[in-house]
Amino acid sequence: MQTLTTPDGPMRKLTDTEFTYLKELYVDRIVEGMMTKDLVRYVVEREQEWIDSLTYTEAMDELESYFDEMFTDTVEEALADIKEFGPDYKPSTEDTRF
C-alpha cells in the first residue's frame, strides 16, 4: 500500500471513526454518480444474491411473509409463467422510465 501524503508530509493513520466516515463518503459519492437504471440493476443483483443464499425453508418463509395474502396467487403466477415461457424465463426488472 502506498503511503498517502499531504502538503504537510505523510498522512497519519486515520482513526476508526475517520476511516468509517471516509468509506461512507466514498459509497455516497459512488451512488450519487450512478444512473437510476444502474441503481436498479445493483439492487436486483444484491437481492437475488441474498434470496439465493437462503435455504429452501428460509426463502419460502421470507416469500410467504413478503407476499402475505397474495402468496398462493404469486406461486401460481410463477408456475404459470414457467409453463408458458419455459424454465429459463425471468421476470422483467427493467422499467422503461429509466
Is 97 within the bounds of a domain? yes
Is 42 within the bounds of a domain? yes
Mean predicted lDDT score pLDDT of the chain: 89
pTM over 0.75: no
DSSP reduced 3-state for 55? coil
pLDDT (mean) for 7-34: 91
- The residue type found at 10 is P
Enclosing domain of residue 75: 35-98
Domain total of the chain: 1
Nearest-angstrom CA–CA distance, 48 and 42: 10
Classify each residue of 15-35 as buried b or exposed e, where b means 16 or more C-beta atoms within 10 Å of its C-beta: eeeeeeeeeeeeeeeeeeeee
Q: Which has the higher per-residue pLDDT, 8 or 21? A: 21
